[in-house]
Structure 1
Amino acid sequence: MKKTWQEKLKDKPSIPKVLKLEKGFPCYNAVRKMGAEVGDEIVLVNPSEVVAIMKQVPEGNLITIVEICRQIARNHDVKGCCSLTTGIFIMTVANAVEEARKEGKSLDIPYWRTLKAGGFLNEKYPGGQEAHKKLLEGENFKVIARGKKYQVVDYEKYLMKLT
């Protein structure tokens, strides 16, 4: 039987896992853009660490995958975190929240306040970019089209400060 989105959020006992960055890693280019070099330690984390950060974002603030990865790296005292698995977890959280909502439950995670790098909306959220845009505009964020993508105007002004 196929796992539900909520089941996919369960942590795995073998994680977190610290690895040395190699050129062949699927997240290599993204992690390099965040400052890690070959041989630097990066971390793979469980969904619960991503959820904990996403839950902190109050109304009026935003966060991007870049800030989430930087915070996770700080938490583990390493140079970076795997942005590929983090991105998958962010998308899984969004789908789990909507799945729970349809079941009459609340996971209390404002996933729509989590953006992609550069302040872009996430096309993999439930309902795609259009639904993401509607949720953000419902909180008075201005969203504009950039080709086929959407971006929050001046998103940097709204980034939550992580410690």
Structure 2
Amino acid sequence: MIPPGAPGFREADGGAMVISSPAEVDQYLRRIQAGEVATLDQLRAAIAQAHGVAVACPVSTAIFANMAARAAEERRAMGEDPASLTPWWRLLKKGGFLNEKAPGGGALQAELLEAEGVRVSPLRRKLAVFDFAERSACALASP
């Protein structure tokens, strides 16, 4: 059970919350194919469903996604094959917005998405994927 006031308390509606792991979040990110995107909320829902609980922790899931992104960019800087990297750039914030806290900020994320044919444009002064709902990754729901 989640204590009152803790992250995810309202979402769980009295249910249980799972705290994922960096490896599990990385595994889910690798399921998102080129040209597809997913939001952090979709990622959390998939993790919660896999564990049979009401919600996945919003704080730790975001931290683990950021860790996967930074690790991927470190490996890219060391010359690792880009095809073997975790595609962190396919994970968006709510509403399809790019993550300014990601490595390289929204500019690098936009560049990597556009290289896969995903259209990125400014929306309310922030970069967003124009058609993120249509590009939503159904791969997150698979086991």
Which AA in structure 2 matches 1:45?
Answer: S
The equivalent residue for 1:116 is 93
The equivalent residue for 1:12 is none
Map residues 70-81 of structure 1 onto 2, 5 A cutoff: 70-81=45-56
Deviations 1:27-62 (A, max 9, x none): 23xx63xx421x210110111111111001111111
Question: Between Structure 1 and Structure 2, which shows a larger proportion of helix residues?
Answer: 2
Please provide the CA RMSD for this pair.
Answer: 1.5
State whether residues 36 and 136 of structure 2, in contact with CA within 8 Å, keep that contact through their aligned partners in structure 1. yes
The equivalent residue for 1:36 is 12
Which AA in structure 2 matches 1:76?
Answer: H
The equivalent residue for 1:45 is 20
Cα distance in 2, alignment partners of residues 125 and 148 from structure 1: 17
Unaligned 5+ runs, structure 2: none
Cα distance in 2, alignment partners of residues 111 and 125 from structure 1: 9
> Identity over aligned residues, as a percent?
34
Report the CA distance shift for 1:23/1:148 in structure 2 as closer, same or farther (over 3 A). Answer: farther
Partner residue of 1:158 out of 118, 135, 138? 135
State whether residues 119 and 129 of structure 2, in contact with CA within 8 Å, keep that contact through their aligned partners in structure 1. yes
State whether residues 76 and 85 of structure 2, in contact with CA within 8 Å, keep that contact through their aligned partners in structure 1. no
- Paired residues in the alignment total 138
Cα distance in 2, alignment partners of residues 44 and 99 from structure 1: 25
| 1:146 shift after superposition | 2.3
The structure 1 segments of at least 4 consecutive aligned residues displaced by more than 4 Å after TM superposition are none
Cα distance in 1, alignment partners of residues 98 and 75 from structure 2: 22
Partner residue of 2:61 out of 65, 74, 86? 86
The equivalent residue for 1:22 is 3
The equivalent residue for 2:74 is 99
Which AA in structure 2 matches 1:36?
Answer: A
